[in-house]
Amino acid sequence: MNRYSVKKYTENHYKTWNDFIAQAKNATFLFHRDFMEYHKDRFEDYSLMVFEGGKLVAVLPANIDQDTVYSHQGLTYGGLVYNEKFKLASVIQIFKCILFFLNSSAIQKLQVKLLPSVYHQKPSEELNYALFLSDAQLIRRDTLTVIDLSTSYSLSKIRKRGVKNGISNRLIVKEVDGFYDFWNEILIPNLAQKHQAKPVHSLEEITKLKALFPEKVRQFNVYHNGTIVAGTTVFESSNVAHSQYISGIEDKNELGGIDFLFYILITDVFKNKRFFDFGISNESQGRKLNEGLSYWKESFGASTIVHDFYEVQTSNYSLLNNVLI
């Protein structure tokens, strides 16, 4: 255990943390402290930093609730973040040190939501193997619908028809700096009516994130005769353009607004990205699939990757003692 030391993140580590995130092989801007802390009043931070000597070599964005530490519940994904120099054996030892630290701090369980593979700068599934070795249990699996834009893909006939409708109806797609129209006229009413829910981000929060990350948080609206009819909020990382929110006015669907919007995004705006991620179509912790929503995404030529969530007993650090031969 002596090779690595584990410490809880404090505000004094702000620059060190962010500098590390910027060069990691499996991180996005969601792990920047400014993004993590926009809703810090909702979560008790328990992010961890792993050092080798005085050098930071890994971080775990996390929060705590009672006797369980979670991959930060305010983030879409998480896991152990490290740079490309670290080999599998080292990641196993780092994860063992984290479990030992948590167990020594009277924390019983660690829940980890992995970073989906499309967000990796380079292959980075060392933690997946360490979780297997430590007898972690799969507790949730979501399905992301993703287009690999570096390969050939094709729209279905029904999507092409929607795009044609958008063109014939002279729809206009615009990137805008503000979120007020989309949030208040489309997103909030639709979520309330269809799901009795609210957006994860309030209007104030998404506006703040845009100010903090102006090139990463982007809003695209569709207009018909000057009136907004659909829109999407995109989180852009190095490899991936991800639609965080998608919504349109129900009685305007015949205009082809959403189909036309995503055709423009995948064939023009983000054509040079490696992946376009439509997000999940799951409910009930991954146990239910919205078939219609999943089909709509797939009909753009997208297919499925999984997003896994694990729970591991911190006492299982001992299972990693004799792994290396």
Residue closest to 77 by CA, chosen among 98, 66, 62: 62
**Residue 16, exposed/middle/buried by CB under 10 A (0-12, 13-18, 19+)?**
middle
How confident is the model over 223-243, as a mean pLDDT?
A: 97
Q: Which fold has domain 4-141+308-320?
A: Aminopeptidase (3.40.630)
- By residue count, the chain amounts to 325
- Give the pLDDT confidence of 137-183 residue by residue, as tens digits: 999 999 999 999 999 999 999 999 999 999 999 999 999 999 999 99
Residue 98 has pLDDT above 80, yes or no: yes
Residue 105 has pLDDT above 60, yes or no: yes
DSSP H or E run through 102: helix 88-104
- At 196, the pLDDT band (50, 70, 90 cuts) reads confident
pLDDT > 70 fraction of the chain, expressed in percent and rounded: 99
How far apart are alpha carbons 109 and 102 in whole angstroms?
8
Q: At what angle do helices 88-104 and 126-133 cross, to 10 degrees?
A: 50
- Domain 151-273 top-level CATH class: alpha beta
Residue 251 has pLDDT above 90, yes or no: no
Residue 65 has pLDDT above 80, yes or no: yes
Q: What is the pTM of this model?
A: 0.94
How far apart are alpha carbons 268 and 160 in whole angstroms?
16
How far apart are alpha carbons 152 and 315 in whole angstroms?
47
Decide whether 4-141+308-320 matches 151-273 in CATH topology.
yes
Q: For the chain, which residues make up each domain, given as ranges?
A: 4-141+308-320, 151-273
Residue 1 has pLDDT above 60, yes or no: no
How confident is the model over 45-70, as a mean pLDDT?
A: 97
In the prediction, which pLDDT does 252 show?
77
- At 84, the pLDDT band (50, 70, 90 cuts) reads confident
Burial 133-145 (b: 16+ CB within 10 A, else e): ebebeeebebbbb
Give the tokens for residue 16. Answer: 């060190």
Residue 39 has pLDDT above 90, yes or no: no
Burial 207-241 (b: 16+ CB within 10 A, else e): bbbbeebeebbbbbbbbbeeebbbbbbbbbbeebb
In the prediction, which pLDDT does 307 show?
98
- Give the pLDDT confidence of 111-136 residue by residue, as tens digits: 999 999 999 999 999 999 999 999 99
How confident is the model over 91-99, as a mean pLDDT?
A: 97
Residue 37 per-residue DSSP state: T
Give the tokens for residue 49. Answer: 């930093």
Query: Could you tell me the end-to-end alpha-carbon distance of the chain, in angstroms, rounded to an integer?
Result: 17
